[in-house]
């Protein structure tokens, strides 16, 4: 296989598709597949539909812009027979019509017979289209597809949108050459990305273990331990407190509408701490702020340096109960409504140590169990204020542990950030390679 540069003058342009070679075709998806379909969700409360299921049931979260080799959920024959579900053949192509996060617009080539939920559009019985080529084409157009909204309330697409979506492609032999070339090249890049990801994950696990050890034992690694309130070991010399014994919770912003946030150049803008920045950081700083419009006499709780913030509501257990602490003084700054602020009032308690303690695995797991809900997981204020923690006797010892953890975690964070930059560079290389090949800027032919 070899590649040569395509002559740019031998090209044509269509608004949606961009520039591509003259001998390539532009067609709608409905013209390259004979059959389309979707699915449904069997009644979740019926155990006969799920227990010991053997039939793969595709969710949009299974789609990965690549070949799909398994589904997270399997259903029973009863579910297939008693609902409107249809079994689709191996080699079908699927796209997520809607979903949270970056799910919408994600595609997959399904490597087994399967059925699906209502969020996926399934395409099968292709006509003169190499499905591996189509995978790479959808990778190229992924971000553009996500900008299109067919729904009224939330971004989504429907089967009609998918059917009439235009694609471009070369003759079949050239498609297979492109698919083979990109498959080989992207596998090399993906292998490097996977190795770097594993390396970053190893450092993240090391970071967690250092925190877990320090907030359990302190600086003396040979200290004797005792069983704490939540059945995990703690330093036998540390004292137990409820959080309400050390400080108090306060509410985030109230009575605000979506239009009040992140307006450009509004003279009444004030800083506020977004949910995502609490989820993603240990310490919060001025560059982690959004803006909110506040009236001159509007009464809202202001944050202070040393305040901790709890994520009180989340779509899953991963974020709920997560804390972060404010590392610098910020004038006229407020907290988002999904969180609660916590202000330490006891002078013997070091808030930076307390934050590390609450971020450790044992304390996180214990607090997470108090979360309740289905579509959202919520923590009640009293569950947080009644939560037990174990502290060293003096603030000096707490501060020494926090300083030690700052030094250790900052070094690890710098390494992880550097690895992340390498991964981003490789992902951009992968993206630009796919874009250049599926638009004909780089021509791929078989020898």
For the segment 70-97, what is each residue's pLDDT rounded down to a tens digit?
999 999 999 999 998 999 999 999 999 9
Mean pLDDT on 386-398: 97
Q: What is the DSSP string of 253-297?
A: --S--GGGBS-TT-TTEEEEE-HHHHHH-SEE-GGG-EEEE--TT
Q: Which two tokens stand for residue 81?
A: 């027979």
Residue 391 near residue 398, CB atoms below 8 Å: yes
Q: What are phi and psi of 335, to 5 degrees?
A: -120, 145
Could you give the CA distance from residue 264 to residue 268 in angstroms, rounded to a whole number? 10
Task: Match 């560059």 to its residue by tokens.
Answer: 287
pLDDT digits (tens, 9 = 90+) for 38-80: 999 998 888 899 999 999 999 998 999 999 999 999 999 999 9
Say whether pLDDT at 399 is over 70.
yes
What are the φ/ψ torsions at residue 291 (nearest 5 degrees)? -125, 150
Would you say residue 4 has pLDDT above 60? no
Give the tens place of pLDDT for each residue, 156-209.
888 999 999 999 999 999 999 999 999 999 999 999 999 999 999 999 999 999
Q: What is the pLDDT of residue 297?
A: 85
| Confidence at residue 374, expressed as pLDDT on a 0 to 100 scale | 61
- The candidate with the shortest Cα–Cα distance to 423, out of 205, 200, 196, 203, is 196
**Spatial CA neighbour of 229 closest among 387, 384, 91:** 387
Residue recorded with tokens 């590649």: 3
pTM over 0.75: yes
Residue 332, token pair as written in the block: 């006229």
Residues with Cβ < 8 Å from 438, sequence gap 6 or more?
Answer: 133, 136, 137, 140, 178, 182
Asked whether the predicted pLDDT for residue 18 surpasses 90, the reply is: no
* DSSP assignment string, 164-212: H-EEEE--HHHHHHHHHHHHHHHHHHHHHHHHHHHHHHHHHHHHHHHHH
Q: How confident is the model at residue 248 (pLDDT cuts 50, 70, 90)?
A: very high
Quote the pLDDT of residue 5.
54
Tell me how far apart the 2 most distant CA atoms of the chain are, in Å.
Answer: 79
What integer best gives the mean pLDDT of the chain?
Answer: 91
Task: Kindly report the backbone phi and psi dihedral angles of residue 31, in degrees, each rounded to the nearest multiple of 5, phi listed first.
Answer: -90, -10
What local confidence, expressed as pLDDT, does residue 197 receive? 98
For residues 115 and 55, the answer to whether their CB atoms sit within 8 Å is yes
Q: Which residue in the block uniquely carries the two structure tokens 């083979």?
A: 180
Q: How confident is the model at residue 265 (pLDDT cuts 50, 70, 90)?
A: confident
Cα separation, 41 vs 85, in Å, equals 8
**Alpha-carbon dihedral angle through residues 206, 209, 215, 217, given to the nearest 10 degrees:** -120
Higher-scoring residue by pLDDT: 150, 337? 337
DSSP secondary structure letters along 64-84: -SEEE---SEEE-HHHHHHSS
Model pLDDT for residues 198-216, shown as the tens digit of each residue? 999 999 999 999 999 999 9
CB-count burial class (<10 Å; 0-12, 13-18, 19+) for 135:
buried
| Beta pairing partners, 124 | 35
Output the six-digit token pair for 163: 């059917």
d(CA 261, CA 255): 12
Quote the CA–CA distance of 98 and 152 in Å, as a whole number: 12
Which residue matches tokens 């169990």? Answer: 369
Name 299's Cβ contacts closer than 8 Å, sequence gap at least 6: none
Beta-bridge partners for 326: 284
C-alpha separations of 119 from 63, 249, 429 in Å: 11, 40, 31
Task: Express as a percent the part of the chain with pLDDT over 70.
Answer: 95
Q: Which of 96, 94, 98 is nearest to 149 (CA)?
A: 98
Q: What is the pLDDT of residue 426?
A: 98
Token digits of residue 376 = 């959202």
More confident residue, 440 or 316: 440
């Amino acid at each position: 296989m070899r590649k040569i540069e395509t002559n740019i003058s031998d090209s044509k342009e269509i608004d949606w598709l961009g520039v591509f070679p003259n001998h390539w075709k532009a067609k709608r998806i409905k013209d390259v597949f004979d059959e389309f379909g979707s699915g449904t969700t069997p009644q979740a409360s019926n155990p006969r539909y799920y227990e010991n299921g053997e039939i793969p049931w595709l969710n949009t979260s299974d789609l990965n812009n690549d070949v799909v080799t398994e589904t997270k959920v399997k259903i029973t024959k009863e579910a297939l027979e008693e609902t409107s579900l249809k079994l689709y053949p191996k080699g079908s192509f699927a796209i997520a019509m809607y979903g949270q996060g970056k799910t919408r617009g994600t595609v997959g080539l399904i490597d087994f017979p399967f059925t699906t939920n209502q969020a996926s559009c399934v395409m099968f019985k292709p006509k003169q289209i190499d499905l591996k080529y189509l995978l790479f084409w959808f990778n190229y157009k992924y971000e553009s597809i996500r900008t299109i909204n067919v729904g009224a309330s939330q971004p989504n697409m429907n089967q009609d949108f998918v059917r009439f979506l235009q694609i471009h492609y070369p003759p079949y032999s050239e498609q297979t050459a492109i698919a083979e070339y990109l498959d080989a090249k992207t596998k090399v890049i993906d292998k490097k990305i996977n190795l770097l990801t594993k390396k970053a994950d190893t450092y993240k696990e090391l970071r967690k273990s250092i925190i877990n050890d320090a907030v359990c034992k302190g600086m003396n690694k040979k200290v004797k331990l005792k069983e704490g309130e939540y059945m995990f070991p703690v330093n036998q010399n540390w004292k137990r407190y409820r959080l309400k014994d050390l400080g108090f919770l306060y509410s985030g912003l109230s009575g605000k509408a979506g239009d009040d946030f992140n307006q450009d150049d509004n003279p009444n803008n004030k800083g506020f701490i977004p949910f995502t920045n609490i989820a993603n950081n240990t310490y919060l700083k001025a560059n982690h702020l959004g803006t909110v419009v506040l009236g001159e006499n509007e009464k809202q709780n202001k944050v202070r340096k040393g305040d901790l913030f709890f994520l009180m509501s989340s779509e899953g257990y991963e974020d709920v109960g997560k804390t972060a602490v404010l590392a610098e003084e910020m004038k006229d700054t407020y907290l988002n409504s999904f969180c609660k602020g916590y202000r330490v009032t006891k002078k013997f308690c070091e808030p930076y140590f307390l934050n590390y303690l609450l971020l450790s695995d044992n304390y996180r797991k214990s607090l997470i169990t108090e979360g309740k809900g289905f579509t959202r997981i919520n923590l009640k204020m009293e569950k947080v204020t009644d939560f037990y923690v174990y502290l060293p006797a003096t603030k000096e010892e707490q501060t020494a542990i926090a300083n030690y953890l700052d030094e250790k975690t900052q070094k690890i964070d710098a390494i992880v950030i550097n690895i992340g930059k390498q991964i981003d560079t490789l992902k951009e290389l992968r993206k630009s390679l796919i874009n250049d090949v599926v638009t004909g800027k780089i021509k791929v032919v078989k020898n």
